A = this chain, B = another copy of it.
Amino acid sequence: MLEKSAFLLDVFTPDGGAYRLTELVAATGLSKPTVHRLTADLVRLGWLEREGARYRLGPKLFELGSLVPRRRDLRETALPFLQDLFEATREIVHLGVREDLEVVYLERIHGHEAVWLPSRIGGRLPLTCTGLGKAMLAFSDAELTERVLAGPLPGLTPFSVTDPERLSLSLEKTQVSGLAYEEQEAAEGVGCVAAPVFEGGSAVAAVSVAVPVARFRPARLAPAVRTAALGVSRALRGGAG
């Protein structure tokens, strides 16, 4: 019952789209009456919402999700620094954390003319295709890096690194510079520079700026990104008060 509900809600995770009953049946493998009853219950609770024949995630989940302390507190202390970074660069600013082999986006700030990116708050992308991911990976313990290098490297664009050798080299570079770069590996036409956020010695998060390649000047962005990440790290040290 509970597990089935979770399974059902997980169908929505990739992009939060809207699905019909039959699609949910197909995606979950549950029986039709079960999905029917389940969705009805979830709608009643506000966890799903129904518009015509389509189901979408409901407002109650938004409320609950926004209150998750881990995420909320980090986002809250990072926000002023992300604002600084946005004002300094006027480009798309990201904050993310690692979860298993993926980066989960916590915040995403942008202005009026933002290019398309696959990143969405609450969304997940492979560590190896994103600046955020590389920044965190470079400063995680070796066991994780090995796991990543062992498995096949997923790609989001033709430019995504899929060669373990090259990835390993790039991670070493960010280990000395404290900065991770990425060009067109997450989205074609977009580059990114990222820096890790530390808490208690380990990289718990990362900050990045994403820029259309046409005006992508990493050297100019680097100081601002570094400053922001450092600022967040200090604020985390400083405590929540």
Interface residues of A (CB under 8 A from B): 1-3, 5-6, 9, 12-13, 15-18, 38, 41-42, 45, 47, 49, 56-72, 79-80, 83, 86-87, 99, 104, 109-112, 114, 120-124
B15 touches A67 (CB 8 A): yes
Contacts A47-B6, A109-B79 known; A13 to B62 CB distance under 8 Å? no
A10 to chain B, nearest CB (A): 8
A66 to chain B, nearest CB (A): 2
A41 to B1, CA, bound (A): 11
Contacts A61-B61, A61-B65 known; A72 to B121 CB distance under 8 Å? yes
A65 touches B111 (CB 8 A): no
A58 to B104, CA, bound (A): 14
In the complex, what residues of B have CB within 8 A of residue A12's CB? 64, 67
B122 touches A63 (CB 8 A): yes
A61 to B16, CA, bound (A): 13
A2 touches B3 (CB 8 A): no
A115 to chain B, nearest CB (A): 13
CB-CB nearest in chain B for A63: B122
Name A57's contact: one of B41, B69, B111, B121 (CB within 8 Å): B69
Name A68's contact: one of B3, B6, B59, B79 (CB within 8 Å): B59
A150 to B12, CA, bound (A): 40
A70 to B61, CA, bound (A): 11
Name A86's contact: one of B6, B66, B71, B83 (CB within 8 Å): B83
In the complex, what residues of B have CB within 8 A of residue A121's CB? 66, 72
